[in-house]
Structure 1
């Protein structure tokens, strides 16, 4: 089966991290998000996968390769501008031909998998099959109105006043019927060809469009809080492995991965947690839900429920929790005679300081 992955988003809501890293490659449990997407598609039966990429095309192709290490074949398609999901499908028509295919958003992660839903769609072959889930605030998503038998009556993109709380998640089963629909619709008010408009076109003309509720964990990693929540969930599946060095004064508790070349010195690491290759953890308490990337230095710090990216240095006695530290960033103490906090903060960054 074929699959199309949209990995060309600019990641505006994840700035400043996406100034230097494409959103699809943001690490979750020390692996790029896109690796989880590809693994999910392989689990769903897709072996021929096209990644639609934008300005980060070279970076993504270098990171993901030809797909052989994932057991799939990866090809790349450049979308010059992000003009909507339906536009990406239209651009990929030479790859898709008239085959049924899966459309997966590159920033949507499904750790529990959607195999049973996709298997049903492959058996029954509706014109379109949606995966939906109840959300607290559906205004940021496509929203589906679904009959008791699963038939989709209406689908609207990011409605100001949603008529249901069923969000359309970033995994679609599509047939060749969608190409006619995309050819018939016009760009939306925001100038994009919306996949929801194409699906509504199919509904209005009597095609079978169905939805199935997904009860597992799912995240669109568009915001830092969602990245942290997804990291926590993925760490729950961690298989313990210690390939680095842990000295006699240190303690490891729970599921912990210490990658090759990493050193844990006079520290406690309480899993689930992962310590990246070449990283030094010294005089620290590393708490659950923490991923520390490769080649970092973390000293005299209590760190929990956080992600520290490659090459960062963290040394703060007050500790950090719920934090996302960027690549090669430095978090450290001020000089003893400094009268106040001293910060170098980049564009779109957020800093929260405990009041004295």
Structure 2
């Protein structure tokens, strides 16, 4: 079967990080989000994949190419003007219309059993199946209401927890039959959650909710991005982790090729280093920390529960907590970052999150 990754979004909630890269290339455990998704799709037999592009399309095409290095055949469809998520799928109708297909949002980190979703979809002969997940706080999500057989009877858009009719939310994982194209207008903006799915339910067509087992999170904001990095290193989500895993004192370390940690560095918690990193004597790490490739951490630096992207240099005695430092940043010695996302070398331009 074929798959489509929705990769055209701008990622405004991840700014300023997405001024450097589009959201699908934002790294989780030093691997782009979309690469994790391609590997998951390939694992479940989806090897013929289309992705729509709009924002910084060249960065996606340059990184992913034809998809062969990730075990898939990847095609791209450029959208000059965004037309909603269902509109983006409509643009790939010719590619998708020859059978059942899956659509997945390009900002998800998940180890969901996609095969089970397909099996339930076919077993119950649904026109559309929506992957759903039970969460404690539904107020930031689209809520899905189902009957006793799992078929969807209604939706709520970001209700308060008190007003919610269900604790299940839409995950951005959809299985669709090609007949669904008959219900998508030929032109104009058109969305799944606000338009297509409520319309199908109102017509009493079979729209199924299938509970997603395993880990699921979107990385649409900085807090969720940090959390996904931490969950990857802790094993909460099952994704491939790069580097040689080893114990160093109280720390578990994933050490990339040609990376070096001086003996005088103090390590605890979980620490991932990409390739060609250098950690100097007197640097200390706590909680969960991810360093990209070619990162330099000078003496006296203290980093806790943070992510530093490739090419950045952290000056002596700087302190970084609960933050994400973008690509090729120079953090001046003695700087104190707390709950910050930045792509700039000057602390005053950092954006608190």
8 Å CA contact 1:131–1:169 kept in 2: the answer is: yes
- Identify the match of residue 230 of structure 1 among 228, 234, 241: 228
1:338 aligns with none
1:193 aligns with 190
Q: Secondary structure at the match of 2:169?
A: strand
1:177 aligns with 179
Shift of 1:40: 1.5
CA separation of 1:140 and 1:239: change in aligned 2, threshold 3 A: closer
- Identify the match of residue 202 of structure 2 among 201, 204, 208: 204
1:7 partnered with 2:4: no
Counterpart CA distance in 2 for 1:54 and 1:252 is 46
Unaligned runs of 5+ in 1: 336-341
267-276 or 158-167, which moves further after superposition?
Answer: 158-167
CA separation of 1:95 and 1:239: change in aligned 2, threshold 3 A: closer
1:72 aligns with 72
CA separation of 1:269 and 1:81: change in aligned 2, threshold 3 A: farther
Normalised TM-score (structure 1):
0.85
1:260 aligns with 257
1:295 partnered with 2:291: no
Give 1:299-310 correspondences, 5 Å limit.
299=298, 300-310=300-310
Shift of 1:198: 1.3
2:121 aligns with 121
Report Cα offsets for 1:272-304 as digits up to 9, x if no partner.
321011111112222342110111111222212
8 Å CA contact 2:319–2:334 kept in 1: the answer is: no
Count of residue correspondences: 334
What is the root-mean-square deviation of aligned Cα atoms in Å?
A: 2.7
Normalised TM-score (structure 2):
0.86
Report Cα offsets for 1:290-328 as digits up to 9, x if no partner.
110111111222212211011111135363221101111
Shift of 1:224: 0.5
Shift of 1:21: 0.8
Counterpart CA distance in 2 for 1:110 and 1:314 is 31
316-325 or 220-229, which moves further after superposition?
Answer: 316-325
1:48 aligns with 48
8 Å CA contact 2:318–2:334 kept in 1: the answer is: no
41-50 or 315-324, which moves further after superposition?
Answer: 315-324
Shift of 1:144: 1.2
Q: Which structure shows the bigger proportion of residues in strand conformation?
A: 2
Shift of 1:79: 1.4
2:339 aligns with none
Q: Secondary structure at the match of 2:205?
A: coil
8 Å CA contact 2:260–2:277 kept in 1: the answer is: yes
